[in-house]
C-alpha cells in the first residue's frame, strides 16, 4: 500500500492491486539527470550525450532545463525555476553552494560535468538500482508496481513527465544560429506518495490525465530524501508512447 498519498482524489481512488495484462517494462540500472540550458555554449555536447543515453534500455535519461542562464540573451524554451531548484537541492545535499551547466547526476548520488563523456561513462559503469519497478498500460490506464524490499529506508515515489524530442532554433545568446536537438525534456514532476519497504506499492492512473500537457513519456522514480533534500534513487522505470 501507499502511505500518506499526496495527490488528487483521482489518484486515491486508483490505488488498486490488480495488475494489467499488457506490460511495458524496463529494468533500469541508472537514472541520468542532465541539468542543461539552451543559453549555455558548453551544453550541446552534453545534450547529444543524453540523446544517446535515452536510447539505452538500461538507463532512464531525463533533461532538466534550468532558467538561471536566461538573462544572457536567450530564455530557454523549456527552462523552469523548479528545475533550477532541484539542482540547487542536490548541491545543498552535497554541502556545496555551486551549480553549473551542463551537470549530470547519476542515481541521485554522483554529480559530474555532463560534457565529460569519460566521467559519465565511469559513473554509469559503477551505477546500479536495487529496487525493481514495473510499468504497464492497459485500456488507457498506467499501472505502477513497486516491490517491497527489507533493509531499505522509506522513499518518495515521483512521477516525471517528459517530451521525447524537440529541435529548437536558437536565435540569440551563446548558441545563436544553432538548431539543437533535445531529448527526454522534463515537463513536470509530481509526488505520488511514500514507498514503504515492508509493503511495496501498487498504483493505477489514467494515462491521458498524466500526459494532458502534451508530454509523451513517463518515468517513475523512487528516491530517498534527507531533511527534505533529494538523496539516492532506489529504483526507476520508464514508459513512452
- Which has the closest alpha carbon to 232: 129, 103, 95? 129
Q: pLDDT value at position 224?
A: 97
Q: pLDDT value at position 212?
A: 86
High-pLDDT (> 90) share of the chain, %: 84
Q: pLDDT value at position 214?
A: 83
pLDDT above 60: residue 44: yes
Who wins on pLDDT, 143 or 241? 143
Q: pLDDT value at position 26?
A: 52
Q: What is the mean pLDDT of residues 137-145?
A: 95
Q: pLDDT value at position 9?
A: 31
Q: pLDDT value at position 221?
A: 98
**Residue 139 near residue 67, CB atoms below 8 Å:** no
pLDDT digit string, tens, across residues 176-220: 999 999 999 999 999 999 999 988 899 999 999 999 888 999 999
**Residue 80 near residue 6, CB atoms below 8 Å:** no
> Residue 98: which pLDDT band, with cuts at 50, 70 and 90?
very high
Q: What is the mean pLDDT of residues 51-59?
A: 96
Round to whole Å and give the CA distance between 55 and 154.
30
pLDDT digit string, tens, across residues 107-133: 999 999 999 999 999 999 999 999 999
> Residue 225: which pLDDT band, with cuts at 50, 70 and 90?
very high
Q: Report the length, in residues, of the chain.
A: 241
Buried b (16+ CB within 10 A) or exposed e, 34-66: bbbbbbbebbbebbbbbbebbeeeebbbbbbbb
pLDDT digit string, tens, across residues 61-84: 999 999 999 999 999 999 999 999
- Which has the closest alpha carbon to 107: 88, 131, 85? 131
Q: How many CA atoms lie within 13 A of 203 on its CB side?
A: 31
Amino acid at each position: 500500500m501507499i502511505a500518506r498519498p499526496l495527490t488528487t482524489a483521482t489518484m486515491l481512488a486508483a490505488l488498486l492491486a490488480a495488475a494489467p495484462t499488457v506490460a511495458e517494462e524496463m529494468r533500469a540500472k541508472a537514472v541520468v539527470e542532465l541539468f542543461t540550458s539552451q543559453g549555455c555554449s558548453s551544453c550541446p555536447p552534453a545534450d547529444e550525450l543524453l540523446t544517446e543515453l535515452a536510447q539505452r534500455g538500461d538507463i532512464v535519461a531525463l533533461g532538466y532545463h534550468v532558467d538561471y542562464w536566461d538573462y544572457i540573451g536567450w530564455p530557454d524554451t523549456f527552462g523552469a525555476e523548479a528545475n533550477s531548484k532541484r539542482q540547487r537541492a542536490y548541491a545543498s545535499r552535497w554541502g556545496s553552494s555551486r551549480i553549473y551547466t551542463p551537470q549530470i547526476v547519476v542515481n541521485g548520488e554522483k554529480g559530474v560535468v555532463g560534457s565529460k563523456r569519460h566521467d559519465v561513462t565511469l559513473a554509469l559503469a559503477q551505477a546500479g538500482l536495487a529496487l525493481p519497478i514495473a510499468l504497464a498500460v492497459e485500456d488507457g490506464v498506467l499501472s505502477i508496481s513497486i516491490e517491497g524490499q527489507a533493509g531499505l529506508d522509506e522513499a518518495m515515489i515521483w512521477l516525471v513527465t517528459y517530451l521525447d524530442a524537440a529541435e529548437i532554433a536558437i536565435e540569440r545568446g551563446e548558441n545563436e544560429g544553432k538548431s539543437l536537438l533535445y531529448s527526454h525534456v522534463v515537463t513536470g514532476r509530481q509526488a505520488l506518495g511514500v514507498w514503504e519497504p515492508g509493503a511495496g506499492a501498487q498504483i493505477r492512473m489514467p494515462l491521458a490525465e498524466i500526459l494532458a500537457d502534451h508530454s509523451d513519456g513517463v518515468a517513475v522514480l523512487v528516491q530517498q530524501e534527507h531533511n527534505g533534500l533529494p538523496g539516492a534513487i532506489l529504483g526507476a522505470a520508464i514508459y513512452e508512447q
